[in-house]
A and B are shown apart, each in its own frame.
Chain A
Amino acid sequence: MSDFEPKIVVFLCNWCSYAGADLAGVSRYQYPTNIRAVRVMCSTRISAHIVLELFKEGADGVMVSGCHIGDCHYINGNLFTERRVKLAENLLKLAGVEPERLRLEWVSAAEGEKYSQVITSFVNKIKGLGPTPVLKDKKLVTRMAAAVDAAKYFRLKTLTSKEVKLTGKGNVYEEVIDPKEYDLLIERAIEDEYQKSLILTLSNHQARSVKELAKELGEPTDRTLDHVVTLRAMNMLALDHIDGTTPKYKAIAGGA
Chain B
Amino acid sequence: MSDDEKRIGVFICHCGSNIAGFVDVPAVTEYVKTLPDVVFATRNLYTCADDGLTSIKESIKEHNLNRVVVAACTPRTHAPLFQGTCQEAGLNKYLFTFVNIRDQCSWVHMKEKEKATEKAKDLLRMGVARARLLQPQEEVKVGVTPSAVVIGGGIAGMSAALSIADQGFPVRIVEKESELGGFVRNLSSIYQERQDAGALLKTIIDRVRGNPNIELSLNSEVVSADGFVGNYDIVIDTKGQEKKDKVGVIVLATGTKEYIPKGLYGYGQSPNVVTLTEFERLVKEKKLPKMTSIAFIQCVGSRGQDKTYCSRICCNISVKNAMNLAENYKNMLGLEETGAVTEAAAPKEAPAEGGDRRRGRRGRRGGAEEGEEEASAGSKLEVVIFNRDIMAYGIDHELMYNKAREKKVRLVRYTPKNLPKVTVEGGKLVIDYWHDTLQMERKMNPDMIVLATPITSQADAKQISMMLKVPLGQDGFFLEAHVKLRPVDFATDGIFVCGTCKGPADIPEAVTQGTAAASRACIPLARGFVQPEALSAFIDSDVCSGCGTCIEVCPFSAIRKTEEGKAEVTIAACKGCGNCGATCPENAIFMNNYSDEQLLAEAKAALQEVKG
Contacts and interface: CB of A to CB of B under 8 A. Distances in A.
Given A53-B600, A68-B474, A84-B582, A75 B555 contact: yes
Given A68-B474, A158-B549, A33 B607 contact: no
Interface stretch (A37-45, A173-181, A186-194, A210-218): A37-45
Interface stretch (B113-121, B236-244, B325-333, B358-366): B113-121
Given A72-B471, A73-B491, A157 B109 contact: no
A131 interface: no
Interface in A85-99: none
A116 interface: yes
Contact of A25 (B102, B575, B596): B102
Contacts, number: 166
Interface stretch (B47-55, B248-256, B449-457, B584-592): B584-592
A50 interface: yes
Nearest to B586: A154
A31 interface: yes
Interface string B459-470: 000000100011
Contacts of A144: none
Contacts of A73: 471, 481, 491, 577
Interface in B84-137: 100, 102-105, 107-112, 115-116, 118-119, 122-123, 126
A129 interface: no
A26 to B, nearest CB: 6
A44 B578 contact: yes
B543 to A, nearest CB: 11
Contacts of A26: 103, 107
Interface residues of B, number: 62
Contacts of A162: 549, 552
Given A41-B577, A45-B581, A54-B603, A70 B472 contact: yes
B471 A71 contact: yes
B175 interface: no
B529 interface: no
B119 A36 contact: yes
B603 A50 contact: yes
Interface stretch (A16-24, A198-206, A220-228, A242-250): A16-24
B407 interface: no
B583 interface: yes
B167 interface: no
B126 A38 contact: yes
A57 interface: yes
A180 to B, nearest CB: 22
Given A26-B107, A50-B600, A45 B585 contact: no
A14 B77 CA distance: 12
Contacts of A18: 76
A152 B543 CA distance: 14
B74 interface: yes
Interface of A: 5, 7, 9, 11, 14-15, 18-19, 21-22, 24-26, 28-31, 33, 36-42, 44-47, 49-50, 53-54, 57-59, 68, 70-77, 80, 84, 109-110, 116, 152, 154-155, 157-158, 161-162, 164-165
8 pairs of A and B residues whose beta carbons are closest in the complex:
A45-B578, A25-B103, A154-B585, A36-B606, A25-B107, A74-B577, A42-B577, A75-B555
Interface of B: 74-76, 100, 102-105, 107-112, 115-116, 118-119, 122-123, 126, 465, 469-474, 479, 481-483, 491, 535, 547, 549, 552-553, 555-556, 575-579, 581-587, 591, 594, 596, 599-600, 602-604, 606-607
